[in-house]
Amino acid sequence: QITLKESGPTLVKPTQTLTLTCTLSGVSVTSSGVGVGWIRQPPGKALEWLALIYWDDDKRYNPFLKSRLTITKDTSKNQVVFTMTNMDPVDTATYYCARRIVGSTSFDYWGQGTLVTVSS
């Protein structure tokens, strides 16, 4: 059974850096073809793709946010770590990690999401 679970702070202050961790179970972050992405959703709004890292360490970022984002893998813990710098109240959202496999498929397994509020 494949599961993903996000963890990290629920509250960050403006200008701080957000660090979230996605822990995978049932699939390895180093398995050929595996990618793990981060997607966010402000309350009552639509989804926004942020970043993605593949099994071979290929990384993709949303170009509109790229200067603020970093995505890495911790293979020893089977985790993907996501950071976003200079947080602002408009970054308040539920942050999801999700898996996809290289090819025609899309994000097929999702974490439950974690709500991050940016407020002083």
Partner 1 sequence: EIVLTQSPGTLSLSPGERATLSCRASQSVTREYLAWFQQKPGQAPRLLIFGASSRATGIPDRFSGSGSGTDFTLAISRLEPEDFAVYYCHQYASSPWTFGQGTKVEIK
Instruction: Summarize as ranges the residues that interact with partner 1 (CB under 8 A).
Output: 46-49, 60, 62-64, 96, 98, 100, 104-108, 110-113
**Of residues 60 and 81, the one with the C-beta less far from partner 1:** 60
CB of 120 to partner 1, least distance (A): 27
At closest approach, how far in Å is the CB of 25 from partner 1? 16
* Helical spans, DSSP H, in the chain: none
Least Cβ distance, residue 108 to partner 1 (angstroms)? 5
CB 69 within 8 A of CB 84: yes
Alpha carbon separation from 77 to 13, 23, 25, 27 (Å, rounded): 28, 8, 10, 12
